[in-house]
Chains A and B, each alone.
Chain A
Amino acid sequence: MRPTSLSRSRFFRTALFGAAALVAGLLVDTVPGRAAEPIRIGELNSYKSQPAFLDPYRKGMQLALDQVNAAGGVLGRPLELIARDDGGNPGDAVRAAEELVTREKVDLITGTFLSHVGLAVADYAKRRKVFFLAAEPLTDKLTWSDGNRYTFRLRPSTYMQVAMLLPAATAAKRKRWALVYPNYEYGQSAAETFKTLLKAAQPDVEIVAEQATPLGKIDAGAVTQAIADAKPDAVFNVLFGPDLARFVREANTRGALDGAFVVSLLSGEPEYLDPLKDETPAGWVVTGYPWYAIPTPEHKAFLDAYQAAYGDHPRLGSIVGYTTIKSIAAGIEKAGSTDTEKLVAAFSGLAVDGPFGPFTFRASDHQATLGAYVGTLGVKEGRGVMLDPVYVDGASVLPSDAETAKLRPAAD
């Protein structure tokens, strides 16, 4: 044992040196960025936890950014993107947002993928009065029950995606439905919305099985078997990513869904469809993005530019990233300024032309009317494709402005 006095002075030195180092680090770390001449867009997203979606997303953003800047920027100023990882959780996300706003002095913030992160950042935007364009989170709460003045959303919400599938679901005239969804808000609310809408359209349906599986950890064999045992004649699926691949493979091997009609959310998005290759379940009616089958000139131009830039086909993430930047450019152009209040006013009713054609940001609930494609899955040359895809305009599946007002009690 060493003498106490020595260990004492060592303790002091440790304490003082440590504290000084921490404060010094704090200062170095928080030096402000350089003065703002370009328009600075702060972007935060879960790049590490959702790379499959967000890698193409980033490429899409970059492409739009390059196009806008090559055309002379907005209001004569170039756009500059400052991207941050939000750590996939609201705590880090709010810090990243504060860093963007206070240290980088960005003019507005955008991004986010996960619903709870989107909601937390939206709440931050409301409190700090910062303009926030939520690119991807799907939760209905973001624009409805927890909507706020400063938050707009681009991608079609959970409700919209479910509503897009409803015509196919009711047209099939099946009676015994089984539901399978990941056990968190997105899956639960998709299942609830589907049940409500389906029962309204077809009062005599029966829900014979409901499987809520842990996200990313589905026990696919047991789940497919439990569904097969309930003998449904139709299935509504909300699983995506690795869960979907496991589910599909087990269902194929076991013949668990033979004869059942399946509608499935998001499964036509290349992010989730590509890995299935020749095991793609033919006949499922899905929402998604058939980049290979969209003949419109807007999309053709986007597709060519994207493939020229990256030598790869776009994913839905690319569309979202690209359209996000285009929306922001259009909004700033219309506002004639980067002032938050002027941006809010400009985005209300803002019309944007994207690769999917024109859409608007509704003034009533700040939701973009960007749509999605609905089609039937099939296999072509060993890979999964959507057959006969039809574009469903977001405006056609959204409730009217009057109904929206009731769904959105808290906002301005």
Chain B
Amino acid sequence: MSLDSLLFQAVNGLASASGLFLVAAGLSIIFGVTRIVNMAHGSFYMLGLYLAVTLAPALSPWIGGAAGFWGGILVATLAVALLGALVEMVLLRRLYRAPELYQLLATFALLLVISDAVLFLWGPEDILGPRAPGLSGAVDLLGRRLPQYDLFLALAGPAVLLGLHLLLRRTRFGRLIRAATQDREMVAALGINEALLFTAVFALGAGVAGLGGALQMAREPANLAIDLSVLGDAFVVVVVGGMGSISGAYLAAVLVAEVKALCTALGVVDIAGYAFNMSRLTLVAEFLVMALVLILRPHGLFGRPQPPATTRARAEPAPAPLGRRGAVLVLVAVALFAAVPLIGQFFAYAPVLALDMVIAALFAASLHFIMGPGGMASFGHAAYFGLGAYGAAFAATRLGAPTPLAFAMGIGTAAMGATLFGWFCVRLEGVYFAMLTLAFAQIVWSIVYQWEEVTGGSNGMFGVWPQAPFDEPAGLYLAALAVTLAGLFLIRRVVFAPFGFALRAGRDSSLRAEASGIPVARVRWLAFALAGTLCGAAGALFAFAKGSISPEAISVGRSIDGLVMVLLGGVQSLMGPVLGAGGFTLLQDMVMRETDYWRALLGAVILAVVLLFPSGIAGGLRRAGNAR
């Protein structure tokens, strides 16, 4: 490994950094002003790329190769910006009054719809775009060949950074954006047309993402998987740089890209006698960087503490305790579910699906416990689900533990993980908290994914079937139902206990809570550990229900599923996550039989729910109840 090659790889990294920066910058602008966690941001990037690879060859015969290439990029950028404006006006504008994070649900649905729309329009095969006319060669540098286009990209990032900087600093529009980033209510109070500003900001952010995608035309084929893979990177870069800070995002992009380039350049190295392949670290490098940065600097490199969100719509009503009549009604509901195995004699699939619903309910309820009463939206809750599942699977298959003991060991594993990671996470607020949980989840995921000897690597573990009496569908189902009910009961008890009040006090005003003697950090830590433990129980049940477990159980997708369930059901009600989990599982099962475009269908249903009941199913039912 020579110095030259390291230096050359560093230059290489700058080109990748520009790509990362472009997709992150748009996300940062959008979040800064609208507070929307835009899950569809990767989709805008993907659309930019697809439009560009279609437009460039189509335009070239008319206006020449070079003009066609750059014209294709320009038109793709503008088209995506326009789509962004449209999405804001038609969809998101209706949701600003909904509780925080509901826009996340809407943009997630959008992600599903766009991904299927792209499949429909462009087909399943990858499309490799043309090379950039005039920039298709390479320049000699340090005795190696650097593609001209990489050089161009390495310069394009800083150029866009400069352009955005000037826009934000020197124009009235930029001043408004900065003002709105700091205090959106004040901007509105000063008579600025907020709706127009939001539309413009969303269009700008989407356009920058579209540009980022379009510029990759010369480097990577348009394919259907990039929306999600880019999304994760974009979040990391935005958060490491500090939300809302554009120059921070650039610095973070450079940092992440350089760390990856270094890992790749080092290749196989000897560490204490063991040959370790550093290139395997590229799987998780960005999340390691993010975890480290957030632990040392809770608001990212250049971020400032977020101003408190003054728009918390209304103080939400305190959860009401159950009376006798309520208890009877809940018992009836429980009895209905307990009777499912009896139905199972006629509908053999009912207990199978009901089992998935019950496990999802515990998963969602445990997430809701920290999200709702705790006010901490975790984006990495799947980590504890996965730890529980893997703990149980390991105990059952490798240690030969009996089912109940393996189950307990799964819970124990999750509890340890949650206690450890929680200690770091609860010190952070809002979206930084969410991202640190995500980083830990990704780190756990990458360890599980690569630790072949213990976890079975990417294939996971199988043969994790429970022993008698849980080996019959009904036996496992009833056991799972009992565990879930116990978990729900425990959560309910805790929410109504002084601990729950302390937790909510910390959420609503951590300053006042501290002043009245509540150790907010410790309360949140305990809540986090409890949520992780219960989630681990759900995970352990999952492992036994499926007989196998694989790294997907820890993936971002699983964490997002949890968020969707909670939001779909309603954050402001303890019933919400249960309804959301049941509804989501059922819905997914139904639409997945439509193998053609089920993702779009799922997205459309979620959109409909979001628009009709902006506070989730529970909120909708509540409204219906009020109307009577």
Contacts and interface: CB of A to CB of B under 8 A. Distances in A.
B626 A84 contact: no
Closest 8 CB pairs of A and B: A51-B124, A19-B333, A103-B349, A184-B458, A102-B348, A89-B552, A120-B548, A222-B264
Contacts of B272: none
* Interface-centre pick from A91, A211, A241 (highest chain B CB count, 10 A): A91
Interface in B275-308: 277, 279-280, 282-283
Contact of A253 (B138, B279, B318, B323): B138
Contact of B145 (A23, A32, A255): A255
A210 B119 contact: no
B320 A83 contact: no
A8 B282 contact: no
A352 to B, nearest CB: 26
Nearest to B336: A23
A183 interface: yes
Contacts of A242: 126, 220-221, 223, 225-226
Contacts of B137: 253
A25 B579 CA distance: 12
Contacts of B223: 52, 241-242
Interface stretch (A93-101, A161-169, A336-344): A93-101
Given A184-B458, A253-B137, A223 B264 contact: yes
Contacts, number: 306
Interface string B440-457: 000000000110100001
Interface in B417-452: 449-450, 452
B618 A98 contact: no
A4 B125 CA distance: 58
B61 to A, nearest CB: 16
* Interface-centre pick from A17, A223, A242 (highest chain B CB count, 10 A): A242
A29 interface: yes
Given A11-B575, A12-B326, A212 B126 contact: no
Contacts of A116: 458-460, 550
A92 interface: yes
Contact of B347 (A7, A30, A54, A253): A30
Nearest to B582: A22
A326 B463 CA distance: 30
Interface in A225-266: 225-226, 228-230, 241-242, 245-246, 249-250, 253-256
A216 B280 contact: no
B332 interface: yes
A83 B145 CA distance: 49
Nearest to A88: B552
B482 interface: no
A226 B333 contact: no
A309 interface: no
B103 interface: no
A22 B589 CA distance: 13
A16 B326 CA distance: 9
A91 B552 contact: yes
Contacts of A20: 333, 336
Contact of A225 (B144, B282, B617): B144
A194 to B, nearest CB: 15
A94 B352 CA distance: 10
A44 B317 CA distance: 46
Nearest to A217: B229
A1 B257 CA distance: 51
Given A26-B340, A30-B350, A225-B12, A220 B547 contact: no
Contact of B138 (A9, A184, A255): A255
Nearest to B460: A116
B357 interface: yes
B8 interface: yes
Contact of A16 (B13, B125, B321, B332): B332
B380 to A, nearest CB: 17
Interface stretch (B77-85, B171-179, B192-200, B592-600): B592-600
Given A95-B352, A245-B126, A15 B330 contact: yes
B625 A13 contact: yes
Contact of B353 (A26, A94, A188): A26
B401 interface: no
A139 interface: yes
Contact of A212 (B5, B279, B320, B625): B279
A84 B350 contact: no
A253 B317 contact: no
Given A85-B598, A216-B225, A15 B333 contact: yes
Contacts of A9: 325, 625
Contacts of B277: 210, 212
Given A23-B340, A94-B547, A122-B462, 14 more contacts: A12-B326, A15-B330, A19-B333, A19-B334, A25-B583, A54-B124, A84-B593, A90-B462, A92-B592, A95-B356, A124-B548, A245-B220, A246-B221, A276-B128
Given A52-B124, A221-B16, A225-B5, A18 B618 contact: yes
